[in-house]
Structure 1
Amino acid sequence: MNGGAWKKIASGETDAQGRIRSLFPKGERFTKGEYRVIFKTGEYFGKLKQDTFFPEIPVMFRVVDATQHYHIPLLLSQFGYATYRGN
């Protein structure tokens, strides 16, 4: 979040294992602050010809120490999800 408004800094698409290896732009420094990742689950399930109850899942998180590794798993089904800070 920058000055009270969200600013898009990157986008990505999952690989065959369902991961996005790096979502932060190369060459830019990760800094303290609040971030938001929006998982476009409606598009994902649409490609599978399946319906979903949650077409988008926004996940907001706070970075306190930019030197740490941040891993944000999203466990997903058509009708539910869970997320947490991984390691």
Structure 2
Amino acid sequence: MSISAQAVDVVYGRPAAGVQVRLQRRSADLGRELDDWLTVDETETDSDGCIKDWTAERFGRGPYQIVFDSDAYFAMLGLSTAYKEVSVVVRLADESDSCRIQVRLAPYSYSMDFGFRG
């Protein structure tokens, strides 16, 4: 199982390099009593706006949340945002699941695509 992600800056029409991103899992899925999101990895997008490999544990079945810090990214560019963070929640249901998430960021909007890879 794997999750790859890409952030695209639609204001300037380029990859959104340097976006801070958190990968989270539900704590109940990790054997904890409280059911909350726990951060299992933090990284930033590369020069292509991508995160190809996470350093976190091996992916298992269950829900994952990927959180893009759009506020900090656009603040670096001198712009304010309506959305502090953009969160995408996906569920990996099968051991062979590999998914790709692309988030297109603008200061006052965002959109995303999700797909499975074979």
TM-score, reference length from structure 2: 0.65
In the other structure, the counterpart of 1:39 is 68
Question: RMSD across aligned C-alpha pairs, in angstroms?
Answer: 1.4
Superposed, which structure 2 residues align to 1:1-80 within 5 Å?
Answer: 1-3=26-28, 4-25=35-56, 28-80=57-109
* Post-superposition CA distance 1:26-48 (Å, at most 9, x none): xx321001111111000100111
- State how many pairs are aligned: 85
The SS at the match of 1:65 is coil
Q: Distance in 2 between matches of 1:68 and 1:34?
A: 12
* Post-superposition CA distance 1:35-67 (Å, at most 9, x none): 111110001001111111111111111111132
Moved over 4 A (4+): none
Q: Distance in 2 between matches of 1:69 and 1:21?
A: 11
TM-score, reference length from structure 1: 0.86
Give the gaps of 5 or more residues in structure 1.
Answer: none
